[in-house]
Amino acid sequence: MSQVATNPIVALFGFLILIFLLLFLIAKWKWHVFLALLIPLILFGIIPGIEQNNFIKAFENGFGKTLGKIGVVIVLGSVIAEALKRTKAIDVITRSIIGFVGTKRMPLALTITGFVLGVAIFSDVAYVILNPLVHSVANAAGTGIATMSIGLVAAVQLTHAIVPPTPGPLAAAALVGADIGKTIIYGGLCCFMGSLAGWAWGKWVAAPRIMTLPNKEFNSDLLATKPSTKLILNSYAPIVIPIILIALHSVAKFYLDDGNAMKPILTYLGWPVVALSIGVWLAFRQIIKKEDKVEAKSAWVEEALKGSAMILVVTGLGGSLSEILKGTPVVDYIVDFFVSYNVPTIMLPFVIGIIGNMVTGSTTVGVITAASISAPMLGNLGLSPEAAMLSGASGSVIIKYVNSSYFWVCTSLSGLSVKDAIFGYGGATLMGGIVSFITVCVLWGTGLI
């Protein structure tokens, strides 16, 4: 690869300024992350000592290569999310989980619901949809709203940050070159352990200390009727089938011989573009009303495109940043630091994810920034792409507080005070992120990732 910069001092200084300016523009001046990332990158290109021609090539190659891998997949995932919301499949999934876990264990049931729904839809949207149910079951159980909401808040955010095919972790997996099937399997395990930690924080630590009562206006009959088995299977299918196909792709890739007739079939069906296209078809099959069938072909897709646009451009710029860093001595500097001070290399993406999230308030920015910066260093750090991606994703959840839009969505809808929300929701995301990271460390230490 052509060198973007050969002078180590210039490269390191430029890199530090780039990161500082990115975080400053978002946190202080409230710029959109697209401009906040684009402007520092452009300024980096005019620093004395930077080879502009090589910089431009790295920028364009990184942007195009990244979106070429993942752009269509991100849009398809957003279309599935939109369809699940419009067809009320989310209600069916929620009722089925509550029916399985039991109404006596509603906080745990809602936590598991958040774990499942976070795979398919954005965390803010999931909580908005489930908010009436949270208040309703809290009223029915005679408990405070924190008892029902804290585990859910943590679980939705964790899955949103860690498990593909949610756009953020999907983009991060592409940036580091992680196998998506393995990332889903092991990320799901990490996220599940983190979700249980968030539920435990709510049940035994936070909820007993938060006295806020649920809104009495919500008396939903959502749980009055039990959905049929066929309806349950149809509602889960757009989420579960693509995940299974992607996982089988990884199995075929690593464990089937080239001469096996099933390998090309599973490889193609498990290609994320095909797998999620099947998910879209399964989601659209649930449309009943004639007017919805007409609207789904254009309006639903357009809405999904709007939702995925930010992820696409930020992911592309993250790819540009990663490609530019590969052409500088910055990579060697950071690797030497970890080696010299015997710092576990798994900490690098984790810490970057924490910083990105806590400064900007965005889990997506946290996980993509961690992946972008870590990607050029993986070989020298001795990290697998899956370990790096899951480490950064775990960090990107820590900690949701007042600079996060998700925090305000959950706080305002639940009716908690800011102080109680920081303790309850912030604490749950802190514990969830830490436990998820510990699980990543165990998987990495045992050689599974």
- Taking phi first (over 0 means left), then psi (-120 to 50 degrees means alpha), and beta for anything else, what does residue 415 get? left
Which of 135-139, 280-284, 386-390 reaches the highest mean pLDDT? 386-390
Position 288 scores a pLDDT of 73
Which of 415, 413, 405, 410 has its CA nearest to residue 428? 410
Contacts of 255 (CB under 8 A, 6+ apart): none
Reported confidence tier of residue 222, pLDDT bands at 50, 70, 90: low
Does the pLDDT of residue 342 top 90, yes or no?
A: no
- Does residue 332 or residue 422 have the better pLDDT? 422
Does the pLDDT of residue 402 top 90, yes or no?
A: no
Reported confidence tier of residue 221, pLDDT bands at 50, 70, 90: low
Does the pLDDT of residue 291 top 80, yes or no?
A: no
Which of 63-67, 373-377, 395-399 reaches the highest mean pLDDT? 395-399
- Does residue 279 or residue 362 have the better pLDDT? 279
Residue 367 exposure: Cα atoms within 13 Å on the Cβ side: 32
Residue 412 exposure: Cα atoms within 13 Å on the Cβ side: 9
Q: Which helix (H) or strand (E) holds 173?
A: helix 167-176
For residue 384 the two structure tokens come to 């697998």
Lowest mean pLDDT segment, chosen from 196-200, 261-265, 403-407: 403-407
Position 159 scores a pLDDT of 92
Interval 39-62 mean pLDDT: 90
Does the pLDDT of residue 219 top 70, yes or no?
A: no
* SS3 of residue 448 by DSSP: coil
Domain ranges of the chain: 59-445
Which of 27-31, 258-262, 432-436 reaches the highest mean pLDDT? 432-436
Task: Give the position of tokens 């066929």.
Answer: 230
Does the pLDDT of residue 162 top 90, yes or no?
A: yes
What is the model's pTM?
Answer: 0.84
Interval 398-414 mean pLDDT: 85
Does the pLDDT of residue 333 top 90, yes or no?
A: no
User: What Rg do the C-alpha atoms of the chain give, in angstroms?
Assistant: 22
Position 311 scores a pLDDT of 75
Which of 386, 40, 397 has its CA nearest to residue 184? 386
Q: Are 82 and 307 in contact (CB under 8 A)?
A: yes
Residue 5, beta-bridge partner list: 50
Q: In this predicted model, what pLDDT tens digit does every residue of 16-31 receive, in sequence order? A: 888 888 878 877 787 8
Interval 287-313 mean pLDDT: 77
Q: What angle do CA 150, 155, 161 make, to 5 degrees?
A: 130
Q: What one-character DSSP code corresponds to residue 44?
A: H
| % of the chain exceeding 90 in pLDDT | 25
- Taking phi first (over 0 means left), then psi (-120 to 50 degrees means alpha), and beta for anything else, what does residue 179 get? beta
Does the pLDDT of residue 70 top 80, yes or no?
A: no
What integer best gives the mean pLDDT of the chain?
85
- Does residue 81 or residue 150 have the better pLDDT? 150
Reported confidence tier of residue 59, pLDDT bands at 50, 70, 90: very high
What is the Cα–Cα distance from 248 to 357, expressed in whole angstroms?
A: 32
What is the Cα–Cα distance from 163 to 77, expressed in whole angstroms?
A: 12
Interval 206-214 mean pLDDT: 90
- Does residue 435 or residue 300 have the better pLDDT? 435
Reported confidence tier of residue 224, pLDDT bands at 50, 70, 90: low
Task: Give the position of tokens 């950064």.
Answer: 392
Residue 50, beta-bridge partner list: 5
For residue 294 the two structure tokens come to 């007409």
- Does residue 295 or residue 387 have the better pLDDT? 387
Interval 411-426 mean pLDDT: 90
Position 278 scores a pLDDT of 94
Q: In this predicted model, what pLDDT tens digit does every residue of 436-449 receive, in sequence order? A: 999 999 999 998 88
Position 355 scores a pLDDT of 85
Does the pLDDT of residue 220 top 80, yes or no?
A: no
Q: Which helix (H) or strand (E) holds 28?
A: none
- Does residue 103 or residue 271 have the better pLDDT? 271
